[in-house]
Structure 1
Amino acid sequence: MVNKEAYTNFALVYDELMTDIPYDAYVDLISLATSGIKGKKIIDVGCGTGLLSVKLSKSGAIVTGIDLSKDMLNIAEKRANDLSLEIGFHELPMQEIEGEEQFDAAVIAIDSLNYLPDKENVLTTFKGLYSVLNSGGVLIFDVHSTFKTDVIFMEGPFTFDNDRIAYIWHTEEGDEEHSVLSELSFFVKEESGLYRRFDERHEQRTFHVFEYVDLLQEAGFTVERIFADWEDEPPYEESERIFFQARK
């Protein structure tokens, strides 16, 4: 699965590849679940380059971001500093979150949870987040559906080219059920006009909706809402991204 060395080069092109992600919709989801973001303490888990963290902070939240990639966090810190935003960023795997109650909301956005290798690590993460959420605090996250890992991802290879960045994305079935191994070759245009290549290897795994529900409940959460693909509709057989909202 992903490790601390992953994303070293990817961090430099990550933002450009994530322009289609509706982070504002995530802000709205959190605002709805917390009855307004302003003044709320929020932990952004797997924060990456801080795109969501910054949006939450600009909306008035008190934000803490964690990620296991130092390179991603360096970009996140620069982004926040350039905007004069006070956001605490910390290098930490999500499975190691623990502590006293302090946050009103926790968010694990854009399938970051799918980098955990098994249900034990997912449960550990849920328990850790439960411990740091205030009573009544909310956890919101999204994951790949089993349809996406088992069917959509197997339709590769996928390609992308915006003239500055190009990639070839090969996928294959992982060793575990509902897991996918991705091997990406990136080509980034330098000022000289030549392209620099680097390669990334990632593995993600997901579980059935009812398995996430069981893990959330085992951690102590009450599941409030499950929906799919950024719509206020329940998941169906060919849904690709599943959202969960759970309350302490």
Structure 2
Amino acid sequence: MIYQGFAGVYDHLMEDVPYREWADLIDTLLKQHGEGVHQVLDLACGTGEITVLLQEKGYQMSGADLSGEMLSLAIQKSGERKMEIPFFQQDMRELEGHEESFDAVLINCDSLNYLLEEKDVKKTFTSVHQVLRSGGLLLFDVHSVYKMEHVLAGSTFADAGEDVSLIWQCFNGERPLSVEHELTFFVKKEDGSYSRMDEFHQQRTYPPEELLLWAEEAGFERLEYFTDFKPGLLLDEAERLFFAFRKK
């Protein structure tokens, strides 16, 4: 997914996302399932919020994203914190130049849901497998089937901020378990007027049993599968699914 004007207001609109909770959970999983985890790749890292939080925890982070605009903000953010984090503009389906160089790979914040075809999810798992060392970890999360069908599809969300206002409409997509997001932003300018930006995003999720199977077919061993930031918990009406795998 390539964000355009959205990159400039992304962090402002994501202020309520529990990034620190996310980073704490990842840290726990890496320590629980990994041994000597140091080199970590944050795929679809966006503006690098989780990337820098994990760097603060002592991991040597790298970040990759398809969007150059997002990466520019991630580089700026890490620089302000005096961090040396390499960032790469790459497609998660076709990672290059990192053969077996990482102890763990992360795909956070439902980024995998931007892959709209089954074959692209499978290609991503294979791509990640190739850049992990033997025994390396893959951690990712996705929207649940329940969230796609009962929370997002057919809903409208709005937020009127002082500097940025948002109208977000969700519709059923053409593919199974998919939604289309139509977002309209009104961003306040220096002269007090507002500029309008429109974004169109598509996301698709997959039943957990399919994700588990595809990861295993790509050469991964299942470690954990749980819901809503709570290891060991599986809820039918959970909104987010978390997975942890080890490269065989």
TM range (shorter): over 0.9
In structure 2, C-alpha distance between the alignment counterparts of 1:100 and 1:24, rounded to whole Å: 30
Overall identity of the aligned pairs, in % = 40
Secondary structure of the equivalent of 2:134? strand
Gaps of 5+ in 2: none
Q: Partner residue of 1:18?
A: 14
- 8 Å CA contact 2:27, 2:54 repeated in 1: no
Which whole-Å CA distance do the structure 2 matches of 1:225 and 1:100 have between them? 25
Contact kept in structure 2, 1:189 and 1:196, CA below 8 Å: yes
2:12 paired with 1:33: no
Task: State the Cα distance separating 1:27 from its structure 2 match.
Answer: 2.2
> How big is each residue's C-alpha offset from its partner over 1:159-199, in whole Å with a ceiling of 9 and x where there is no partner?
11122111111111111000001110100111211111000
Residue 96 of structure 1 aligns to a residue whose secondary structure is coil
Q: Map 1:151-166 to 2 at 5 A.
A: 151-166=150-165
Say yes or no: does 1:69 pair with 2:54: no
For residues 122 and 134 of structure 2, what CA distance do their matches in structure 1 show? 19
Counterpart contact for 2:111–2:142, Cα < 8 Å: yes
TM normalised by structure 2 equals: 0.94
C-alpha contact 1:156 1:171 (8 A) present in aligned 2: yes
Instruction: Give yes or no for contact 2:25–2:229 (8 Å, CA) kept in 1.
Output: no
Q: C-alpha distance in 2, partners of 1:206/1:153?
A: 12
- Deviation of 1:39 after TM superposition, in Å, equals 6.8
C-alpha separation between the residues in 2 aligned to 1:43 and 1:58?
Answer: 15
Partners in 1 of 2:37 and 2:144 — Cα distance?
A: 33
How does 1:78-117 map onto structure 2 within 5 Å? 78-98=76-96, 99-117=98-116
Q: Stretches of 4+ moved more than 6 A in 1?
A: 36-39
1:165-204 equivalences in 2 (<5 Å): 165-204=164-203
Count of residue pairs the alignment pairs up: 244
1:76 is matched by which residue type in structure 2?
A
Q: Please, which runs of 5 or more residues in structure 1 have no aligned partner?
A: none
After TM superposition, give the deviation of residue 243 of structure 1 in Å: 0.5
Shift of 1:233: 4.1
Matches of 2:234 and 2:154 in 1, distance apart?
A: 21
CA distance in 1, matches of 2:68, 2:188: 24
| Maintained 8 Å contact 2:154/2:172 | no
2:222 — aligned with what?
Answer: 223
Moved more, 129-138 or 19-28: 19-28
TM-score between both structures, scaled by the size of structure 1? 0.94
For residue 237 of structure 1, report the CA deviation from its aligned partner: 2.1
- Deviation (angstroms), 1:67: 0.4
1:60 maps to which residue? 58
